[in-house]
Chains A and B, each alone.
Chain A
Amino acid sequence: MQAVAYAELHTLSNFTFLRGASHPAELVARARELGYRALAITDECSLAGVVRAHMAAKEHGLPLVVGAEFRLGDGLRFVALATDRQGYGALSSFITRGRRAADKGSYLLTRADLEDALDRCLLLWLPGQLPDAAEGRWLRERFAGRLWLAVELLTSGNDRRRLGALERLGAELAIPCVASGDVHMHVRGRRALQDVLTAVRLGIPVAAVGLALYPNGERHLRPLERLADLYPRPLIDATLEIAERCHFSLDELRYEYPEELVPPGETPASHLARLTGEGLRRRWPLGAPPEVEELIAHELALIRELGYEPYFLTVHDLVRFARGAGILCQGRGSAANSAVCYCLGVTEVDPARSQLLFERFISRERNEPPDIDIDFEHERREEVIQYVYRKYGRERAAIAATVITYHSKSALRDVGRALGLDELQVDRLARAVVWTDGLALDERRIREAGFDPVNALIARLVALTRELLGFPRHLSQHVGGFVIARGRLDELVPVENAAMPERTVIEWDKDDLDDLGLLKVDLLGLGMLSAIRRALALIGAHRGRTLTMADIEPDDKDVYDMICRADTMGVFQIESRAQMAMLPRLRPRNYYDLVIEVAIIRPGPIQGDMVHPYLRRRAGEEPVSYPSAAVRRVLERTLGIPIFQEQVMQLAVVAAGFAPGEADRLRRAMAAWKRRGGLGPFEQRLVEGMRQRGYSVEFARQIFNQILGFGEYGFPESHAASFALLVYVSAWLKRHEPAAFACALLNSQPMGFYAPAQLVRDARAHGVEVRPVDIAASDWDSTLERRADGEVALRLGFSLVKGLSQAGALRVVAARADAPFANTQDLALRAALERRDLGALAAAGALGELAGHRHRAVWSVAGVEPPLPLLRGTEIAEGIPLLRAPSEAQDIIADYRSVGLTLGRHPLALLRERFARERISSAAELGSLAGGTPVRTAGLVITRQRPMSASGVTFVTLEDETGHVNLIVWLQVAERQRRALIEARLLEVHGRLQREGDVLHVVVQGMRDRSALLGALQSRSRDFH
């Protein structure tokens, strides 16, 4: 039989969530393989999958038609296909209209919406089981000449009858018929998964879905011969006629930048040059060094050549707004560390001080858009977002989507439920499964969870879960990626409602935007910026000098000394356990060392085994050598060891012969391989390419392993450079203004690794006087108070008191300004406090003089009655019962419970005598012991971490009254004493002391939960919890 030519015009991808059962790329590849002339992706009221389809179609050379399927409120169904850019815009805004009219994840459209919509689109009417001629007539009146009747024959037993009936109907209404397939999957084999998706959508097990399942697997891309058997020739030919009329390609979309940023009479280029020049004079009032001038001329030329001026102007505008509003911000990313950005005030990374080259980050060949992320104070990012909406309007600005995909647990959970397992079983199974690149089941653990690994159900479960993995599940909003257009955004990409009220997101994610070369700006929130701004303001107020980040003295020796001692609690980025362990070994002495420090303690370098070689070379224990001159150029600044993401990319180019574009795809694949897999082909290419160019297979393997690590958390030099600045600034504040720094950190919680208890303890260890929360002195935030000697003390704020409302606390502060409080009744009355707020203050021990000891305070405030209008000022006379005063231990525990910290003795101090008898050493005592000594110690557990990169090791930090002890618990010990490890609040361990330079660890051999001692401290009777 002669093969026919066919184009499929009705295809759902898995971006029609919980209906389509194949990825867009799978559909495209299969359509190409079957010899289809074209393929339309027509997800239900969505264009979320078209960019992926478009990229795949380009790769496979298959014409792609962009369209969407709709069901109107009254049940009318049709497919709309875009013929050209204008039609695409109409389709996109029609989808936007439907999506904006409904809650997130759904849409609502009526015939009225269709009256003036879908210009320059072709329509396929999808008649129901019993075709309603009135529907056809209504559509024909509006879409004559671009309307077809879709005949979808799916082997349901009455195909011949239906074909006849639809052909007659088409003739009667004068609507031509066309063949289409209602495709839901690329191959028949996805039938089971499609059933599972249906079950998940309906929220019931597959076995109970019944007739809502499709009776067969015909909704796949069928071979041409089979289609030729099913459909009369004219219906098949019509598919080509339609496909040819749809000549729109996503490549036609061009991003058009906002125009309003350029004043009249200027071009974007002249405006950018002028702003840069002004910045240059501000940065170097006495004249910039010639290298900088040269660099700026070079960068501006490159920007002009690539047409990126409006992008830089947009970023500049946002930063200018933030500055004006007093919001601290800093740019980072490939283009951010340019001299131009330094002059524009986007970053503080001084090009004269750094060895960073703009061209390393932005290049002609790669033809990728510049990337600038801007970090703002985390509590004030919203102001910037509102500015964007105000300035450009909701029609022109929206947040990029994040496609939430099925990961191992959610996939297993949904498939498990669909197969009828109950919640408990699914939970347990999810725990028993070990997730690696694919999906491996550890038989022993499955058995442990009470399942039989060879059971058919389990086999089905695993197979389906594996298929579902990586499927898009829903769209969410990106953390801060904004798209801003010159014209209406909804004609570029559909805009829908986000889960947050008053937020809108576009249907494409970051990768989609990258693929189409559309620019976006990332507006992110960073807690440390809030803390730094607060610290600078506090210092300004108390020292009478205003400080900005730029005023902070660079290269301060004392600051680096402190960093080398790993005395870095609270300092940005380098306060984690792993970072603190590295500091005394890497011994950073300058800014670039900090850049490396920030980037090196990441899964990439750790998994690639780059850390130790770097340290050895830095210490001069190993010669610095390069396999070739090309590699030397890439790796020289990191002593021959690849540490940054950019270096790995460059190595792929210079050592493995990747084209720059290919290296970029590798970067993209790196970020996604955990979710989607698919690094296999790159591995082959990379290792083979390097081997051919004379590099050792070992070196190539190392590079590849590092790529795998970057997948977890890729860290580029361009970001590390900006972060390193904040590392230095925060370290400077900690070293020179510890009270202000601690105060700012407390007021910016939650952020960082440590709780207020540790931050306060650390501040006191650095000589800061800390004063308790007090009804007579505290504000909502923690504050600085001037001491008699002119120094400052830190006063804890009401914000630390658990259960106290901010409004109540503010009323306290306001009422106190009139007159001090006489007693609790007076406090309750004048500050209009509810019993709950009063109770919180009493429990915190903040009532001080007003009510006596804590037990009496609680009794006293619990009896405060809401004042009656006639009895204002009268007090209820009642006797105060005899309540025992709290013991020291009770006070300490109440402090922890209410404020999260105590200014009294550490709880361990109360137990020290007992521990001394038991030969348990304190943290301070361990410091004086030699490495290898067997030791026994105990403390409060303040952190428990099991990093992915550390092969089963658990890091635990204990705290006692003398300091911290860092524990290393190997997997075997952890498994054996799981209970103590997980449960203990007070943990006793014995093990061997390990000493590496100044760094101490205890490698744990045994553990014992001593939490009962804390309970015994608390009360004479029983701990009722």
Chain B
Amino acid sequence: MFACAAACPSLTPNHRCAFMMMKTPAATLDLFAPLPVPPAPRGIGVAPGTRHKPTARQLWLAVHFPQLALEALERDTDARQPHAVIDGSGSAQRVAACDRAAARAGVRPGMALNAALALAPRLAARARQMRAEERLLERCAAWAAQFTPCVSLEPPDALLLEVKGSLGLFDGAARLCERISAELGHRGLQVAVTLTPTPRASLWLARAGRNTVIIEPAALIGALATLPIGALGWPQESLALLTAMGLGTVGDCLRLPRDGWARRFGVDLLEELDRATGRAPEVRRSYRRAQRFHARFEPMAEISEIEQLAAVLEPLLAALGRFLRSRQGGITSLMLGFRHRAAAESILRVGLAAPSADARHLMALVRARLDRYTLPEPVTQIRLRSGPVLPLDFESGSVFRSRRAAPDAAGGVPRLVERLRARFGEDAVFGVCLVPEHRPEVAWRAVPLDAAAEGGRGRRESAGPSVARPLWMLTQPAPLKVVDGAPRYRGPLSLETGPERIETGWWDGRDVARDYYVARDARGARLWIYRDRRPPRGWFWHGIFG
């Protein structure tokens, strides 16, 4: 969703085909040179043995999203209605976040759902979507990569950016903070942005809602000292204990003796304090987004023939194949865009039944699609975008076999399906799955092929109707002529078995009440017919036995 042009390397001009990939830093762990931890004879925050260097080695920008739980959900348009996101289930349902309208009514995070509803009866309460929150945070991280290669996730609701090296590019710390804050604000996200020499301090201050910029390490302790301990995200029992000792701020904590502190609150919290003050290093894992392959090609001359197009695509796909092999991954979808001089871009999508890294197989699929394709205008530019890279299914043996076996021979059913789809379109091939239902018209449905294979296996065990069902069913039951109260189809019908009474389906408003019979017509065909039990009690033809 966010553009990334600025951060990408430039094109290689001497090659006829230029590739652009979403780049992420190579290292997944950023280890920063650890500071020696000095012995601290007195308070946690007082370290007379060491002197801080006058300038910070790193500067960390924290972005805290206080309303992320709310922002991750699709919102209704009615702004007057209060909204809240609810965590937990049953009697433990609590408000995770709420909007301004809800807050005006008195709803606050942490409040029990019942209490919130009592305050705001019109509250639109929705279940928390952790997955959506993760995705939104990841999207923000990808966006933030324009400011620095070092972006780190702090789930559930914050990002950390190491920006020391980038400050020059963005007119200094204050400007950068303002810009990030403003741009995320434009996207409808509420944020608090803080910049300090340590990630932990930035995070704490941002969570406390303080939009602070501190460049000098010497100023850090002063800023932290007034921070209430409730903002640190520490465990409840530790907070309760601190409060019971009359301690309310980080400053209070920093005055305590280190050994006494460690004995009472453990080394973990001591370490957190040290990290915040810059006395101990903090190792942050950089965010690395799921990879895709992007490529763009501008031919020397416009292309109007499909054959020509295919010839140009081949090296593109070969590059994709190399890209995938180097990552030991495969793709299940592929998008090709053809730009034209005037007409809108033609988009071609190819889907695969299983992840593949085989360029020849991919080319075969693309070919099959192109064969049925009519270009509206000559092509001026081609772009290729892969779906996300997925791990290859090793059990299928594709990695080891792909070089020896021809794709056609190794394919089996998935390849057949892919080719049928490539030829007739994505929707033309589907599976059929039995639905456990008494109503015949609802007892099957179309599903994606892989689901059909699974569904078919699973259902076989459950008890189906004990009586015969015809193989061919009419999409709509057809009324039968009735003479003297008896149904007719190409002449009189003789009822063979029945009735089988089916009355069910009230819950979706399509309740049926029918008596089914197997009937034989004058020519000996066996029909499945029913009589509606509701007035006017007509007869219908619903299927035919093969």
Binding site for B on A (CB under 8 A): 129, 154-158, 160-161, 191-192, 195, 206-207, 210-218, 419-420, 422-424, 427-428, 431, 445, 448-450, 456, 460, 839, 842-843, 854-855, 858-859, 862-863, 865, 878-879, 881-886, 890, 894, 978-979, 982-983, 1019-1022, 1024-1025
Contacts and interface: CB of A to CB of B under 8 A. Distances in A.
Contacts of B260: 859, 863, 878-879, 881
B259 A195 contact: no
B97 to A, nearest CB: 15
Given A155-B499, A192-B506, A843-B244, A215 B465 contact: yes
B499 A865 contact: no
Interface residues of B, number: 61
Contacts of B243: 1019, 1024
A428 B264 contact: no
Most buried by A among B124, B244, B516: B244
Interface in B448-501: 462-467, 497-501
A192 to B, nearest CB: 5
B246 A884 contact: yes
Nearest to A982: B118
Contacts of A460: 506-507
A878 B259 contact: yes
A226 B435 CA distance: 32
A1020 B248 contact: yes
Contacts of A422: 127
A129 B241 contact: no
Interface stretch (B17-25, B64-72, B249-257): B249-257
B436 interface: yes
Given A158-B467, A982-B115, A883 B121 contact: no
A155 B515 contact: yes
A979 B241 contact: no
A191 B244 CA distance: 62
B86 interface: yes
A192 B506 CA distance: 7
Nearest to B111: A983
A1021 B249 contact: yes
A210 B241 contact: no
B466 A216 contact: no
B507 A983 contact: no
A152 to B, nearest CB: 14
Contact of A886 (B125, B246, B249, B256): B246
A160 B502 contact: no
B502 A216 contact: yes
Given A210-B462, A883-B246, A1022-B230, A215 B501 contact: yes
Contact of B437 (A160, A210, A427, A862): A210
A1022 B126 CA distance: 30
B507 A206 contact: yes
13 contacts: A155-B501, A156-B501, A210-B435, A211-B437, A211-B462, A211-B465, A216-B503, A424-B125, A450-B124, A862-B245, A890-B246, A982-B119, A1024-B243
B106 A423 contact: no
A129 B464 CA distance: 12
B501 A216 contact: yes
Contact of A456 (B246, B256, B462, B509): B509
Contact of B248 (A207, A839, A882, A1019): A1019
B382 interface: no
A585 B241 CA distance: 51
A195 B511 CA distance: 13
B89 interface: yes
Contacts of B463: 129, 211
Contacts of B249: 1021
Contact of B230 (A448, A456, A1020, A1024): A1024
Contacts of B105: 979
Which 8 A-B pairs give the minimum distances between C-beta atoms?
A1024-B230, A157-B500, A210-B436, A1021-B248, A155-B501, A157-B467, A855-B246, A979-B106
Contacts of A450: 122, 124
A887 to B, nearest CB: 9
A161 B503 CA distance: 21
B513 to A, nearest CB: 8
A877 B230 CA distance: 31
Contacts of A859: 245, 260, 264
Nearest to A445: B121
B407 to A, nearest CB: 40
A191 B438 contact: no
Contact of B255 (A855, A881, A1022): A881
Contact of B507 (A419, A884, A982, A1024): A419
A157 B507 contact: no
A982 B498 CA distance: 64
A535 to B, nearest CB: 35
Contact of A894 (B89, B122, B244, B436): B244
Contacts of B113: 424, 427
Contacts of B244: 839, 842-843, 854-855, 858, 894
Contacts of A420: 507
Contact of B257 (A216, A879, A1022): A879
Given A210-B437, A211-B438, A1021 B228 contact: yes
B257 A878 contact: yes
Contacts of B467: 156-158
B126 A424 contact: yes
B408 to A, nearest CB: 41
Interface string B223-264: 000001111000000010101111111000001110110011
Nearest to B255: A881
B544 interface: no
B507 A195 contact: yes
A431 B119 CA distance: 13
A803 to B, nearest CB: 10
Interface string B420-460: 00000000000000011110000000000000000000000
Most buried by A among B119, B255, B501: B501
B106 A983 contact: yes
A431 B246 contact: no
Contacts of B508: 207
Nearest to A432: B121
B506 A191 contact: yes
A881 B463 CA distance: 74
Contacts of B89: 423
Contacts of B125: 424, 428
B304 interface: no
Contacts of B509: 456
Given A158-B497, A859-B245, A129 B466 contact: yes
A855 B122 contact: no
Contacts of A865: 263
A882 B255 CA distance: 9
Nearest to B123: A428
B50 interface: no
A881 B45 CA distance: 14
Nearest to B264: A862
Given A858-B241, A879-B257, A1022 B516 contact: no
Given A216-B501, A859-B264, A983-B115, 7 more contacts: A213-B504, A419-B507, A422-B127, A431-B121, A863-B260, A878-B257, A978-B118
A605 B255 CA distance: 66
A735 B122 CA distance: 51
B310 interface: no
Contacts of A424: 86, 93, 113, 125-127
A211 B436 contact: yes
Contacts of B504: 191, 195, 213-216
A983 B106 CA distance: 9
A894 B231 CA distance: 21
Contacts of A423: 89-90
A195 B106 CA distance: 42
Nearest to A154: B501
A883 B118 CA distance: 42
A422 B86 CA distance: 13
A859 B257 CA distance: 12
